[in-house]
Amino acid sequence: MSLTVAQIQAAKPISKPVKLFDERGLYLEVVPAGGKWWRFKYRFAGKEKRISLGIYPDVGLKEARDKRDDARKQVAAGIDPGEARKAAKIAIIEKTENTVETVAREWFNKYSPSWAYSHSSKIIQRLERDVFPWIGSRPIREVKAPELLSVLRRIEERGAIETAHRALQNCGQFFRYAVVTGRADHDLSAALRGALPPVKEKHHASITEPKAIGALMRAIDGYQGSFVTKCALKLAPLVFVRAGELRKAEWPEVNLEQAEWRIPAMRMKKNAPHIVPLATQAVAILHELQPFTGKGRFVFPGACNRDRPMSDNTVLSALRRLGYAKTEMTGHGFRSMASTLLNEQGWHRDAIERQLAHAERDAIRAAYNYAEHLPERRKMMQAWADYLDKLKAGAEIISLQSSRAA
């Protein structure tokens, strides 16, 4: 016998659930708290199952019967209504929650705390500028390779080939994260390998001819600008760190008695701590600078705000004032200068690479081996500083190898 509206309205809750049966698997469950729930009971693959069809009176008797009939049709067609409902919910989540931007930000938030700020900020800015506006709202599972390629083509068309390659690399990282977390089927970036034109190799302008190096050292000594900038210029060839690492140097990192500068991992490009042995010449420069900036945080504070490091263009601008064009010398060029000559003069290649803080393929090994070859590196840094002094003095060009032998 089928239910009536009067029976439904008259049903009152008691201390345990009460079931009021309609027809063909439909019944109303009255729970002790007072709610009235429509249920549909069915058998599928030999098992008894049930699903909810809504709450009375939000779902009336006729609508409940219609929903039951739809569910029965699914069973007759070999479809489990409960599993179909779960699949529909997953599809909604895929469209509204598992978008490209949502997954990419989740990946970024998970891994970026272990990256240097300069590195992580570039990645998120690249994604926000070049990827999210075009496919950020798309369900990540539905994105196809041609869509991602069109995003990269936009970057390529403005001439930023290297940025397009880096964007592809970042997309590959969060697509792989989506795969392992069950929200994508494959890494689309793999299908686009070779789709972008190759990046033209760029070399930072650098001076590597000994006589020209001597002239550069003399020009730096004669710099007429800010004393702080002059000290940064003088220190740059002696430590040959990256430009950002030099300008952000902090006094607590520097130990003049032990003649060493320890840069924390968070400020290094590859997120591993780095030791810079200081030659006596470097220590002398820092001793001279300390009365001017030593009471603050930064070794080389900004000209307008001493609570911030000097501008990233300060050293570059100083080189331009000395007459060196961007095609001749850059702040990064001091690294190329040291690398070229130290290798030519026979120093241990691993010691040079470690002093340049070039990346370890194994991140764990890099974190533990930042002091690797340190005795050799101390000798090398002092010999390098002495060599630069001789070039500056205009002495006969000698090799670092012969300096070591002496």
Q: What is the DSSP string of 332-397?
A: THHHHHHHHHHHHTT--HHHHHHHTTPPPSSHHHHHH-TTTTHHHHHHHHHHHHHHHHHHHTTPPP
Q: Distance between CA atoms of 404 and 386, rounded to whole angstroms?
A: 11
| Annotated catalytic residue 86 | no
116-149 burial: b if 16+ Cβ within 10 Å, else e: bebebeebbebbeebbbeebbebbbbebeeeebb
Residues 79 and 105 in one domain: no
* The pLDDT of residue 88: 75
Residue ranges of alpha helices (H) inside 222-346 are 227-239, 243-247, 280-293, 314-321, 333-344
One domain for residues 164 and 247: no
Instruction: Say whether both 141 and 156 belong to one domain.
Output: yes
Which is catalytic among the residues 332, 377, 378, 392?
Answer: 332
Residue where a domain terminates, one of 191, 226, 259: 191
Residues 174 and 242 in one domain: no
Of the candidates 326, 358, 365, 404, the residue annotated as catalytic is 358
Query: Do 269 and 295 reside in the same domain of the chain?
Result: yes
Answer yes or no: do 222 and 320 share one domain: yes
Name beta bridge partners: 175. none
Beta partners for 262?
275
Known active-site residue 119: no
Burial of 173 (0-12, 13-18, 19+ CB in 10 A): middle
- Is there a contact between 217 and 234 (Cβ–Cβ < 8 Å)? no
Q: What is the pLDDT along the chain (406 residues), one digit of tens a residue?
A: 789 999 999 899 898 999 999 999 999 999 998 899 999 999 998 899 999 999 999 999 999 999 999 999 999 999 999 888 887 776 666 666 789 999 999 999 999 888 877 788 889 999 999 999 999 999 999 999 999 999 999 999 988 888 999 999 999 999 999 999 998 999 999 999 889 998 765 567 889 899 999 999 999 999 999 999 999 999 999 999 998 899 999 999 999 999 999 999 888 877 788 999 999 999 999 999 999 999 999 999 998 899 999 998 899 899 999 999 888 898 888 999 999 999 998 999 989 999 998 855 444 444 446 668 899 999 999 999 999 999 999 865 544 444 444 4
Structural domain includes residue 105:
yes
| 368 in catalytic set | yes
Statement to judge: residues 73 and 118 lie in one domain:
no
Whether residue 370 lies in the annotated active site: no
Residue 161 Cα to chain centre, angstroms: 19
CB 314 within 8 A of CB 229: yes
Q: Which of 36, 67, 183, 242 is catalytic?
A: 242
pTM, full prediction: 0.55
What pLDDT was estimated at residue 358? 80
Do 80 and 226 sit in the same domain of this protein? no
Q: Which of 68, 95, 122 is the last residue of a domain?
A: 95
In a domain, 53, yes or no: yes
Residue 198 maps to a domain: no
Q: How many domains does the chain have?
A: 3
Is 204 inside a domain boundary? no
CATH number (domain holding residue 337)? 1.10.443.10
Determine, yes or no, domain membership for 199. Answer: no
**The domain spanning residue 18 has which CATH number?**
3.30.160.390
pLDDT of residue 116: 74
332 is catalytic: yes
- The residue from 65, 335, 354, 377 that is catalytic is 335
Q: Which domain holds residue 78?
A: 5-95
